[in-house]
Structure 1
Amino acid sequence: MLRHFLLLAAVLVTASIADAKPRTWTSADGAYKLDGELIGSNETTAILKRRGSGRLAAIELADLSEEDRNFVKKQGKSGSKQEAGDDLEMHTWTSREGLKIRAKILAYGKKEYTLDRKLGAVTINGKAFSTFDPLHQKLILRVLSVLEKTPLEKQSDLNKFVSLFAGQPKSYPLEGVLMELPSGDQIAVPFFMFSEKDLEVLQAGWENWQKYHTDEDARAREDLMMRSEASHYQQSMAQEQQRQQLEVLKFNMAAVRTGLTSIWEVQIAPNRGVYGRPTSIMVTARDSLTATQMVLPNYPGFSM
């Protein structure tokens, strides 16, 4: 295992390494591996964000393999620029009710939801509801629940609701943004679905976009501005979260230096019949018993 697990050195100044892709890191002796992404480094230390848990760990470069040390050095020199890809445009948005939506913003738009029943199946704009991606289904149910002021939580609720239409389709005009889900499905999400913070960004240029109803170039420009502002907003939010994490790590490291606490690595594995993989969790605690008591309740079915 890596000999020195430092949560954060007091004098560490990190170089911003945004949107690094996760990779597998290996200790110098090859005995220990860690999956994560590089989010910062200096001449002696690399800060990694663990894949899955998202926990940060600061690891001395001397404890890493030569390949990993070269990777960190290369990232520092290149300014950590990465090729732009669709994944980089995917961000997490939040609805007023707290639903997290991982999606890419495409454009402003006006669209109608037409709810109908064909051959016994509920359809949205002519497509069977059952064929939509699960997240897409959940979004549709949330939107219709707000519009109709009726709780629609699952497909059976929607089936009962549509049965009241007496064979007549019903349309709902919507104003909002067109989003693309990781599955490739595209969905129109009305403005009223977003949290107040997200809405401030997404709705900023909506009035201008509406004014240019005959100017496709102007509308395209407003779409681009909205996407750029949304991307900047999401990156700023992510950087603030990382900054807060680093401040917490500084506090923990100060406690370690003064002897108030220690850093423990608790290694756990799933019990027989429990699905999962062995993993390790870093915590600050006074002793190993306390560290274990902090970790195990969060991993039912695992043992140290």
Structure 2
Amino acid sequence: MVRYPAPGRRTPARMRRFSRASRCVGSTRELAGSHTLIQVAFTMARKVFTVLLILLTASGAARADVRTWKDTTGVYNIQAELFAFNDEHVVLRRPDGSLGMFPIEVFSDSDRDYLKSEQAQKASSANLGDKQNWKLKGDTTIVGNVVDYTKRDMIIQRRRGRVFVNDRQFTDLPPVYQDIVRQTVGQIEDVPNMDAASFDAWVLKQRGQPRTFSVEGVVMELQDGNEYVIPFVLFDPSELRLLRGGWDEWLEAHQDYESRDDESFRLQATAAAMHRQQELSNEIAMAQYNLNLIRSGITSLWEVTLYPARGNPASPRWVQVTGRDSRAATATALQQNPGFVSGPVRKIR
């Protein structure tokens, strides 16, 4: 029969030793378990840190550093990172994410030397070269890079039992472009989801008469390396607003090939920014650099961001004005640029 100590009586030494030993074993097990948990947590943290480091390194490789850009006078300066550039223009991105396009010639020699660096070349190429996914109507997606605007006629006619598109036999066109032609006709003629059978039926209804469609859209380089016309009518409205941003300026340029080239580059940069910066809410602004105003010596000089008001097809602008304070500068900018609303304001000097 086992006797337990009565309440109030001291526990025998042998039982006290057993109790201490039990507590030691338990503590050792808890310590070992805690040590194992610490090792696991440390290993997981190290793996997470490694993954984050790889991601940061990869993302940083395609980005240029934020730096101070200065004009030839040294008065005008802007804190921004390089987004893209070509032979004549440079697109800069401010820390707030807004983008503006400048003529390269306004910047200092050191900035122009920077554009010749390997870092600048890689950053621009990475931004402009990434393949872009574009959402079209009907929940379809097309992968390619937008490179230019275009406006041209598409003539469809059935002759001698064969269908021709701009004098090229329809069946000789690449399959991707056959689908673009069908979907374009379907959107214009209000035939949803036009497939091969419904396209053939539509062609037969024309009884050999040529049908001419004036197509406005963008030129896109697809994954096969060829360039195709993608009409605006095919794009989902969520994509179309920014894509059409410089369309009116491009049309107004007519035979001014230099101006058209400017708008083409701005379109390329806008398209790239839309897919690298998903929160992009406005197209790239045109920086209206005023050298005479910079050189004037006026001590209260401001740069005002202007956005086109509803119904105004113009592009955003960064304009330079004078004013005793930011409110006065904004009022002057709006007076000089009717049809716009004001955005951020910064003091130049």
TM-score after normalising by structure 2:
0.45
Q: CA deviation at 1:196?
A: 2.4
Aligned with residue 137 of structure 1, among 170, 175, 178? 178
Aligned with residue 226 of structure 1, among 258, 267, 272? 267
Aligned with residue 230 of structure 2, among 164, 171, 189? 189
Deviations 1:221-269 (A, max 9, x none): 1111111111111112399xxxxxxxxxxxxxxxxxxxxxxxxxxxxxx
Q: Does the 8 Å contact 2:220/2:228 carry over to 1?
A: yes
Counterpart-to-counterpart distance in 2, 1:238 and 1:204: 16
Tell me the amino acid that sits aligned with residue 90 of structure 1. K
Aligned with residue 95 of structure 1, among 136, 155, 159? 136
The alignment-based identity, stated in percent, is 23
Counterpart-to-counterpart distance in 2, 1:84 and 1:119: 48
Structure 2, unaligned stretches of length 5 or more?
A: 1-42, 63-118, 281-349
Q: Counterpart in 2 of 1:203?
A: 244
**Stretch deviating more after TM superposition (8-17 or 217-226):** 8-17
Q: Does residue 1:148 correspond to 2:176, yes or no?
A: no
Q: Counterpart in 2 of 1:268?
A: none
Q: CA deviation at 1:147?
A: 0.5
Give the alignment of 1:18-167 within 5 angstroms: 18=59, 81=122, 84=125, 88-151=129-192, 153-167=194-208
Q: Counterpart in 2 of 1:215?
A: 256
Counterpart-to-counterpart distance in 1, 2:234 and 2:57: 33
TM-score after normalising by structure 1:
0.51
Q: CA deviation at 1:86?
A: 11
Q: Counterpart in 2 of 1:237?
A: 278
Counterpart-to-counterpart distance in 2, 1:5 and 1:130: 57
Q: CA deviation at 1:79?
A: 11
Deviations 1:124-164 (A, max 9, x none): 11222222222222222211111011245332322221111
**Stretch deviating more after TM superposition (103-112 or 191-200):** 191-200
Tell me the amino acid that sits aligned with residue 170 of structure 1. R
What SS class does the counterpart of residue 122 from structure 1 fall into?
A: strand
Q: What is the CA RMSD across the aligned residues, in angstroms?
A: 3.5
Q: Counterpart in 2 of 1:33?
A: none
Query: Is the radius of gyration larger for structure 1 or structure 2?
Result: 2
What SS class does the counterpart of residue 277 from structure 2 fall into?
A: helix
What SS class does the counterpart of residue 276 from structure 2 fall into?
A: helix
Q: Does residue 1:175 correspond to 2:216, yes or no?
A: yes
Q: Does the 8 Å contact 2:246/2:267 carry over to 1?
A: yes
Q: In 2 relative to 1, CA 16–137 (structure 1 residues): closer, same or farther, beyond 3 Å?
A: farther
Q: Does the 8 Å contact 1:205/1:226 carry over to 2?
A: yes
**Stretch deviating more after TM superposition (147-156 or 194-203):** 147-156
Aligned residue-pair number: 180
Q: In 2 relative to 1, CA 126–86 (structure 1 residues): closer, same or farther, beyond 3 Å?
A: farther
Structure 1, unaligned stretches of length 5 or more?
A: 22-77, 240-304
Tell me the amino acid that sits aligned with residue 207 of structure 1. D
Q: Which has the higher helix share?
A: 2
**Stretch deviating more after TM superposition (192-201 or 79-88):** 79-88
Tell me the amino acid that sits aligned with residue 212 of structure 1. A
Q: Does the 8 Å contact 1:108/1:178 carry over to 2?
A: yes
Q: Does the 8 Å contact 2:128/2:272 carry over to 1?
A: no
Q: CA deviation at 1:94?
A: 0.8
What SS class does the counterpart of residue 237 from structure 1 fall into?
A: coil
Counterpart-to-counterpart distance in 1, 2:258 and 2:124: 27
What SS class does the counterpart of residue 56 from structure 2 fall into?
A: coil
Counterpart-to-counterpart distance in 2, 1:89 and 1:164: 43
Deviations 1:172-224 (A, max 9, x none): 11111112222244322222221223212211111111111121110111111
